[in-house]
Every structure is written in C-alpha cells, then in structure tokens.
Structure 1
Amino acid sequence: MTSRDLVLVSLFAAIIAALGILPPIPIAFIPVPVTAQTLGVMLAGIILGRKRGAAAVLLLFVLIVIGLPVLSGGRGGLGVFVGPTAGFLVGWLPGAYIAGALAEIYADTQSPLKQTFGFFIAATMGGIVVVYFLGIAWLAYGAGTGVSKAVAGTLAFVPGDLIKAGLAALAGRAVMLGYPLLPKRSL
C-alpha cells in the first residue's frame, strides 16, 4: 500500500467511527439497533474499492479491539465480538470487500445512470445482503431464536438500509466524477 492508500484507509475508518456518534435507534423486538455506521461500510467499499475498503473496516476493528468506543452508543472492546448481534459487525468486513469488488466493475461505465445503479447494487449486495447473512446466522445461533425469527426481526431494517445504499451510490458517483479513487476492473 502506498502512503496515499494508508491515508484513505484511515480516513474511511474515521468516517465509519464518526457515523457512530449518531445515537443508535433501538427496536423493541430485536437486540440490534439502527445505526448509521453501515452507511460508512458501504461508502468505504464503493469509493475505495475492495482492498482499501476492507482495510478501512479492518482498521476500525483494531480500534474496537483495543477498547476505543468507536461503535454506535460508545461501545468498544472485545465483548462486542461475542454477543448475539456480533455477526452484523463481523459482516462489515466481507460486506465492504464485496461492495468494493462489485463497484470496481462499474467504475468505468460511461453511462451515469448505469454507474449509479451499479453502485446501488454493490452497496446492496455488500452492505445489506452479506451483512444480513452473517448477522442473521449469528443471531439465530447466538440468541437461540431460530432463523425464521431472526429473519423476521431484521426485516424492519431493510427500508433504512436501502436508503443508505442509495445515498452511498449517489456519493460514489459524485466522487467518481470529481476525484476518482476507485480502481477500475472489468469482468
């Protein structure tokens, strides 16, 4: 990694942490709050690409492990990786990687609409599908609720996460126009 890459990785780890300042919104029937930090994970993947986006999340994980309160609600420390909702947090790493890998495919698309839609798909697949898959599996096992109850409980998050994916796609498109950071990759 170049020094520029290290700066970008650090910047996006800081953005994800800063989005944790917004207070979490608890939902009564599931122990996972609504947070803005998944938007940061989507942005890291879409704007930085798979390697640097995942590195930003990994850097954030290091900060969490050493006990810094960088998660929503001022949480940090090893305990956040062992609770019943830890799968959603763990899912951020592959989520940023997948979002970045898919965004790299759409980086050189000439059509603004196609590129924005491609970034939306990338954010949805990485920031929602991958994160939900790991989170639901972990929640079903960790809380002993079963998969059907875990899926039903997470459906309340889908509309908000789709809005976050749309915002990430628009931001990714704007950055590509002004200051492209995303490495271009084809199928």
Structure 2
Amino acid sequence: MKDRTLVQIALYAAIIAVLGLLPRFDIPLAGGVPITAQSMGIMLAGVMLGAWRGALAVTLFLFVVALGAPLLAGGRGGLGVFFGPSVGFLLGYPVAAFAAGLIMQRFRNQPVLPVALIAAVIGGIVVLYPLGIIGMSTLGSLSPLDAAKACLIFIPGDTIKAVLVALVAQTVARGYPEALISRGA
C-alpha cells in the first residue's frame, strides 16, 4: 500500500471520528440506537475513496473504537459498544462504505452528483439498515419487525446526509477531481 493511500484511509477515519463530536440524539423508539452524524462519514468514505479504501477507513475507525477510544457519538468506545443494539450498524459500516464505493467505481463515467447520491443511499440505507435491524433485534429489546419499524425514524436524516455527501462529492469533483479517488482508474 502506498503512503498516500494510508494517509487517505487515516484521514477518512479521522473525519468519521470528528463527526462523533456532534451530539447524538437518543430516540426511545429505536431500541437504544442513537441518531448520529457518523453515518454520513461512512457514506463519505465510500463515495470519496472507493470500495476497498472506504471500507478500510471505516474498519480503522472501528478498530480504534474497539481499543477504547471514545470516538462514537456521545463519547462511547471500547469493546462494550459491540455488545449493544447498535452492533449491527457498527459492523455494517464497512460493508456500507464498500457498497457506496463500489457503485461510484462502477459508474465512474456518469455524472458525479446523481451517482454519489445513489451510492450514498444504497450504501448508507439499503445495505446498512438490514444489518442494523439484525443487531437491534438480536441485542436490543425489539422483534425484527419492530426493529424494522424503528429504523423508519432514521430515513429522513440519512437521506439528508446522502444529499450532503453527494453535494460534497460534486464540489470536490469540480474543484479537485483527483481527491475523488473512487472515480480514478
């Protein structure tokens, strides 16, 4: 792996961590899974870095969290976070980033804005939610159907995050296209 690739992966892991500084919103209906800005970082990592680099950035972030760094929204960290109702989302983060990055790579010759929006929605909602639902129903106090219903509360916010990610990708593509690594050869 080249030095530049390592820096890019570390940078996006840091961006996800910084998004954890924004306050989380606890929703009683969601079985203990909070609304956070970090899912936007997951979408961004995949859209900007591509499938493998995006997934590696998210995996690096989760590794540091597992080591105990309080980088999740609300200052959470340590192995304990992987034994709560959010576990499906946490373990799904690399998969979501990979899916978003894969879409960006497959459609690299198409306009950035719509592809980035579709990639963020598919990775950050369509791929991530089923994994989150499994975690909520396995380690939360919800049935699979109730967990799926609870996830409906996340859709408006995650859609807004996907739009913001697409706008960032479009802006970067116009000003500094080389930074949109997922569109490279």
TM-score range, shorter chain: over 0.9
Deviation at 1:184, TM superposition (A): 3.7
Does residue 53 of the first structure (1) align with residue 54 of the second (2)? yes
Does the CA contact (< 8 Å) of 2:133 and 2:147 recur in 1? Answer: yes
Which consecutive residues of structure 1, in runs of 5 or more, have no partner in the other structure? none
Which consecutive residues of structure 2, in runs of 5 or more, have no partner in the other structure? none
Q: Deviations over 1:111-130 (max 9, x none)?
A: 4xxx3111111001111111
Does residue 65 of the first structure (1) align with residue 62 of the second (2)? no
| TM-score scaled by length of structure 2 | 0.93
Does residue 182 of the first structure (1) align with residue 165 of the second (2)? no
Aligned equivalents of 2:61, 2:89: Cα separation in 1: 14
Deviation at 1:182, TM superposition (A): 2.2
Deviation at 1:185, TM superposition (A): 7.4
Aligned equivalents of 1:185, 1:117: Cα separation in 2: 17
Q: Deviations over 1:124-179 (max 9, x none)?
A: 11111111110001211222521110011110110000000010111111222222
Instruction: Decide which moves more: 142-151 or 78-87.
Output: 142-151
Helix, strand or coil at the partner of 1:26: coil
The aligned amino acid for 1:176 is A
Deviation at 1:51, TM superposition (A): 1.0
Aligned equivalents of 1:63, 1:44: Cα separation in 2: 16
Aligned equivalents of 1:150, 1:71: Cα separation in 2: 21
Identity among equivalent positions (%) equals 46
**Corresponding residue number in structure 2 for 1:38:** 39
**Corresponding residue number in structure 2 for 1:133:** 130
Alpha-carbon spacing, 1:183–1:26, altered in 2? closer, same or farther (3 Å): closer
Deviation at 1:37, TM superposition (A): 0.2
- Which structure 1 residue ranges, 4+ long, deviate > 4 Å from structure 2? none
Does the CA contact (< 8 Å) of 1:107 and 1:182 recur in 2? Answer: no
Alignment partner for residue 167 of structure 1, among 158, 164, 170? 164
Q: Number of matched residues?
A: 182
Aligned equivalents of 2:127, 2:80: Cα separation in 1: 22
Aligned equivalents of 2:105, 2:35: Cα separation in 1: 28
**Corresponding residue number in structure 1 for 2:84:** 83
Aligned equivalents of 2:106, 2:183: Cα separation in 1: 7
Does the CA contact (< 8 Å) of 1:104 and 1:182 recur in 2? Answer: no
Does residue 10 of the first structure (1) align with residue 13 of the second (2)? no
The aligned amino acid for 1:93 is P
Output the aligned Cα RMSD: 1.5
Aligned equivalents of 2:64, 2:41: Cα separation in 1: 16
The aligned amino acid for 1:60 is F
Helix, strand or coil at the partner of 1:102: helix
